[in-house]
Amino acid sequence: MALMDKHKQVKRQRLDRICEGIRPPILNGPMHPRPLVALLDGRDCTVEMPILKDVATVAFCDAQSTQEIHEKVLNEAVAALLYHTITLSRDDLEKFKSLRIIVRIGSGFDNVDIKAAAELGIAVCNVPAASVEETADTSVCLILNLYRRVTWMHQTLREGTRASSVEQIREVAAGAARIRGETLGIIGLGRVGQAVALRAKAFGFNIIFYDPYLPDGVERSLGLQRMATLQDLLIHSDCVSLHCSLNEHNHHLINDFTIKQMRQGAFLVNTSRGGLVDEKALSQALKEGRIRGAALDVHETEPFSFTSGPLKDTPNLICTPHTSWYSEQASVEAREEAAREVRRAITGRIPDSLKNCVNKEYLMASQWPTIEAATVHPELNGATYRFPPGLINVAAAGGLPGAGPGVESLVPGTLAHGIAPVSHPPHAPSPGQPTKAEADRDIPSDQ
């Protein structure tokens, strides 16, 4: 018996040495506060709180960088929830002293350095399924808009143009094209790519796709035509739609060289990630007429503005502000699933209990400690931590929208602040993420 106890002690010491320097141990037991879960770049955690309030303290930071995050969160947060408006590099991740899990509320995770996170002992998860329908519907909407030129006709009427004769109608609707028989090329046949293909078929498109990471036979099960190379797809497509995630292999997948491989007068749609498209090359191609029209929901620098950047004064271009993922239902579903993933981490084991861990293969093969809840502090749920100096109690002055009664809110004296432009890091994917990240081939972004 004594020998078994000694063996367990040695094994425990060995495990402690493995974990030493990765993350400090989480203190469990009734004498310590419950795990702290922080929503980094949002100010409303009313959806997450009902799922987590019995096992964790939930706080929000409303930050756009780690410099805006309160020291308490950096020191004590065990889990972090985030959208696409904050970036976590290795330097940012090293500021967190107790972090065990990051959950991206959405499918894209290119704003988190997942390899560095794994080396620091932090699991990174995403929510790949919540906005599949919304992103696919938006993609098809943009494709139809390019073919039928609805946006430009609307603008023409708003500017006072009247189209009463056949000749005037021809002039106003010039460029509108028939869809039936056109070839739609999809790059990245993940969840959203497949949903777009099924929808586009109903409009009479011939569908082809390129995705080197899908197993053979997928094209037959879906009744689609597979292209062996990206060049083959570009040559044969009348419209190209991007549905792959952004990684280190495909930054500026659409550039001056690949644009020249596209058919003269083809359309381009991107609802995936802004870094996939070289905006300078796209702007030049649109001005020269090599590309007939383009529709972008995502951009290299966000938030996007027509008043600056390479797309300023570019003709035949539709832009939306990274909203293809959004509907009220999808937003709530994504937040609920993200909170459930955090709950699985707290009540189970990391990474074994996680449903959508995207850096699992990078994590060390050591046994991970279980995160346990301790005493209940319901008054702390929904608290916010941001700048230490000049804090005020907003709840006493009316509170924040959606925060609910009794939510403690500690924020700077001024709440209104613009979202700083987020320049996507130069990561880049091969069209369609490797199998390990196949779930995130869609985007959303958030995103």
Known active-site residue 154: no
Give exposure, 29-57, as e/b (b: 16+ Cβ within 10 Å). Answer: eeeeebbbbbbbbbbbbebbbebbbebbb
Helices 191-202 and 132-148: angle between axes, nearest 10 degrees: 40
104 is known as an active-site residue: no
In DSSP terms, 410 is beta-bridged to 393
Residue that the structure tokens 């905006």 belong to: 279
- Catalytic annotation, pick one of 322, 343, 386, 441: 322
Residue 122 corresponds to which amino acid? I
- Helix, strand, coil percentages (3-state) for the chain, rounded to 5, are 35, 15, 50
Q: Which of 43, 70, 273, 292 is catalytic?
A: 273
Contact 72, 38 (CB under 8 A): no
The yes-or-no answer on residue 273 being catalytic is yes
Catalytic pick among 68, 76, 300, 302: 302
Helix pair angle (150-158, 132-148), 10° resolution: 60
DSSP readout, 219-246?
HHHHT-EEPSSHHHHHHH-SEEEE----
DSSP category for residue 152: H
CA distances from 5 to 13, 15, 19, 28, 422 (A): 12, 15, 21, 22, 54
Catalytic residues: 273, 302, 322
